[in-house]
Structure 1
Amino acid sequence: MGRVANQHLRRWKRTLIWGVAFLCCMCFLLFTPRISRSHKHHQFVDMRNLLGVPNTLNVITNFPFLVVGVLGFVFALQGGLFNISSKAEVWAWVLFYAGTASMAFGSAYYHLKPDNNRLLWDTLPIMVAYIALLSSLLVERIGQRTGLCCTFSLLLASFLCVAYERIYNDNRFCTMFQLILPVAIPGVAFFYSSKYTHSSYWFWSAGIYLLAKLEAVADRKLYQLNNFTISGHSLEHLCSALIPVLLSVMLTYRGLKFSRLGELKDWP
């Protein structure tokens, strides 16, 4: 009876959390003014032109995304190095690494000449990568059908958010979308048990994401602190590239939580 009561309490808490999150999203949309893209958004502190490349460091610091994305894409498809136990997980991780590699091209293209037209190619790959990451968690911890439905629904939603922003010059949907996914990923990792070991890597990745965003906010201050060597925005790129690296390490070393009787431990 105690175990059943705990399961009901856990489900009630999960439902409450998702309900509160939904209400917060609706309040954000209903009670906040339109967020328009201003030209200040594209004015980064480090605008140096080195070796003929505009905004050089903001461009070349995207290269780690390409390396990690391509390697991860190959390893996820081959299935020899990464410990992935279902086809749905394979496709979720393949999409994640494809999005990571695309971030290198999209962000570099945007930073060569930052403006509203090019911002689309910087935003979409990031959305796709985080959608795939959330989907892989849902497949792993809730079920394949839930994870796959989430993948297609969120991909459609991401394209609609970008289209809305482009047509109406209102960035609220894209902002909400980009805020929810990074919060939902550690939330799912915390409230739903995993069938794999090494789950702490999810929380380390969330911490690195938070650090990267703080570096972006402190773009100018960090640039001044390191004697105008590298800006906070470039540091954000390098720090963010550590996220797929950490997750690749997790996929390499994790294993299924089987007991001697062949049953899963800590699996609801």
Structure 2
Amino acid sequence: MKTGLRALPLLISALAALALLLHGPIAQLAHYHDFADQSNWAGVPHAIDVLTNLGFVMVAMVGGWFLLEKYRKGDVGVAFPAYCVFALSIAATTVGSSYYHIAPDDARLFWDRLPIAFACCSLLAAVRADSLPGMGARKAFLELVLLLMAALMSVVWWQQTGDLRPYLLIQGLTLVLIPLWQWIWKAERVDRLAFGAAMFLYVIAKITEMLDGQILQQLQFMSGHSLKHLLAALAAGLIVWRWRAHKEVRTIATVQNIVVRRQTAS
């Protein structure tokens, strides 16, 4: 593997951060909370925007079951903690997003964005731990903690300053770095396809979010933001589906044995 190619993710990350720094603060749209869905079912305001979040908890439950099954079989790799955090973050998205959509405002939006940031960063940590050769359990866990701290700070930064740049950077890098790492380090083809499809679905979800009212006018029964929830849950579902079939090769025990052998040899 050429050194230049391995440095490409770091270069892209640095350039993206520099571009956002030079761009200046990115404020939230003035009418961000004015969603097209005005339905009310059984006293639940913005009901479709609220109820479409149930897809996330369904995916999280299936993912949690798969992870528990892997744990029982001893099929636990260095990426296992990060995937656990990802599943918990997806479940928390149901709570945070539903809480926000019942009465949208900036205070509630914090609890919507926080689990999304955690999901992005835990997925980055998981794929990096899975992809990079020689990644040990301790290093993988440390990177997970650092990325989760970055996720928290990105949302706190927005809350305190109104500047979305760190939060947007995290989402953008998730979409770029995951397929890039898998390509550079030659992940299984089916993994690359599944994760690539998940990233594509999330991009489409973000587009439907921007076409909130137009999609409601066309479909009548669902707004663009509600559709975004379903597409994002489907994207998470593709990732969870790969957990079921993916066989961890570099388990924690294996990594520890390698470290012990190296120490003994030295």
Scaled by the length of structure 2, what TM-score is found? 0.84
Which residue of structure 2 lines up, in the alignment, with residue 121 of structure 1?
A: 111
Q: Distance in 1 between matches of 2:80 and 2:12?
A: 31
Find out whether 1:232 has 2:224 as its counterpart: yes
Which residue of structure 2 lines up, in the alignment, with residue 133 of structure 1?
A: 123
In the TM superposition, what is the alpha-carbon distance from 1:247 to its structure 2 partner? Answer: 1.8
- From 90, 101, 116, the counterpart of 2:91: 101
Q: CA RMSD in A?
A: 2.3
- From 226, 234, 238, the counterpart of 1:246: 238
Find out whether 1:48 has 2:39 as its counterpart: yes
Secondary structure of residue in 2 paired with 1:238:
helix
In the TM superposition, what is the alpha-carbon distance from 1:205 to its structure 2 partner? Answer: 1.0
Q: Distance in 2 between matches of 1:82 and 1:111?
A: 40
Secondary structure of residue in 2 paired with 1:249:
helix
Q: Distance in 2 between matches of 1:163 and 1:209?
A: 23
In the TM superposition, what is the alpha-carbon distance from 1:83 to its structure 2 partner? Answer: 9.3
- From 121, 141, 144, the counterpart of 1:148: 141
Q: Is the 8 A contact 1:208 1:239 kept in 2?
A: yes
Unaligned ranges ≥5, structure 2 = 250-266
In the TM superposition, what is the alpha-carbon distance from 1:156 to its structure 2 partner? Answer: 1.0
- From 192, 203, 206, the counterpart of 1:210: 203
Note the alpha carbon deviations across 1:113-169, whole angstroms, 9 max, x for none.
111001110001011111111111111111134432321111111222222222222
Q: Distance in 1 between matches of 2:117 and 2:230?
A: 18
In the TM superposition, what is the alpha-carbon distance from 1:219 to its structure 2 partner? Answer: 1.4
Scaled by the length of structure 1, what TM-score is found? 0.84
Distance 1:111 1:43, change over 3 A: same
Q: Is the 8 A contact 1:75 1:81 kept in 2?
A: no
In the TM superposition, what is the alpha-carbon distance from 1:52 to its structure 2 partner? Answer: 1.0
Q: Which has the higher contact order (CA 8 A, sep 6+)?
A: 2
Unaligned ranges ≥5, structure 1 = 1-6, 258-268
Distance 1:148 1:115, change over 3 A: same
Q: Distance in 1 between matches of 2:203 and 2:73?
A: 26
Q: Is the 8 A contact 1:37 1:169 kept in 2?
A: yes
